[in-house]
A and B are shown apart, each in its own frame.
Chain A
Amino acid sequence: GIQVEQSPPDLILQEGANSTLRCNFSDSVNNLQWFHQNPWGQLINLFYIPSGTKQNGRLSATTVATERYSLLYISSSQTTDSGVYFCAAIRWAQKLVFGQGTRLTINP
């Protein structure tokens, strides 16, 4: 099955800094999604982005399908951005395969 790897595993930044999270996947995908798991454990949909670039406020994501990676950008980080960020992909079966996550800590 498809393998999904995220980097870095941990990222600690000061409020106001910018961050880039990376997701590599082992094969071509039909679906790639980014999520934010907040401190209460809830999983928030961020982007559905099997290819191309999307932006939503301070967040943007780019997937380069031919090179099998996706990037999540967070600009002007706020403490509320803290949590674990997951990417997940689907190749042929319908189940999302998740990466291990990047734990982001934004200090005031």
Chain B
Amino acid sequence: EAGVTQFPSHSVIEKGQTVTLRCDPISGHDNLYWYRRVMGKEIKFLLHFVKESKQDESGMPNNRFLAERTGGTYSTLKVQPAELEDSGVYFCASSQDLGGREQYFGPGTRLTVT
């Protein structure tokens, strides 16, 4: 069974540009999460999808971030326009159901904004 995959593994963009990160969850997992670790700080939650619906987006930092999960399969996270403070590692995770089930993490996308 394939794990959670993320693309790209690393992205370097200039301030003001747009970047789109992609996450493919484990097949059959309705729950998809985005987290990020910036500036060597702790990893923080961004948002949670159940199928194609946003269940909780309380961690999204501002309206420069837009997440979608069309069709309830893969998800994209767009940053537009990117700022220097957006640099960090963005992780995607998926789980089979709710109730505190184990979340399986992808390898992450390292975003560098210069």
Contact = CB atoms under 8 A, between A and B. Distances in A.
A96 B45 contact: yes
Contact of A98 (B43, B99, B100, B106): B43
Contacts of A37: 37
Contact of A41 (B95, B99, B110): B110
Contacts of A101: 42
Interface stretch (A15-23, A43-51, A56-64, A67-75): A43-51
A100 B55 CA distance: 25
A62 to B, nearest CB: 17
B22 interface: no
Interface residues of B, number: 30
B33 to A, nearest CB: 7
Contacts of B56: 93-95
Interface residues of A, number: 25
A101 B55 CA distance: 27
A53 interface: no
Contacts of B41: 100
Contacts of B108: 41-43
Nearest to B93: A96
B66 to A, nearest CB: 19
Contacts of A93: 56
B74 interface: no
Given A41-B89, A42-B107, A95-B56, A86 B43 contact: yes
B105 A45 contact: yes
Contacts of B55: 94
A24 interface: no
A90 B110 CA distance: 25
14 contacts: A37-B37, A43-B43, A43-B107, A44-B105, A45-B102, A45-B104, A50-B100, A93-B56, A94-B31, A94-B98, A95-B45, A96-B33, A98-B44, A101-B42
Given A43-B106, A86-B42, A95-B56, 14 more contacts: A29-B100, A33-B102, A33-B103, A35-B105, A41-B110, A43-B105, A45-B105, A90-B100, A94-B55, A94-B100, A95-B33, A95-B45, A95-B58, A96-B45
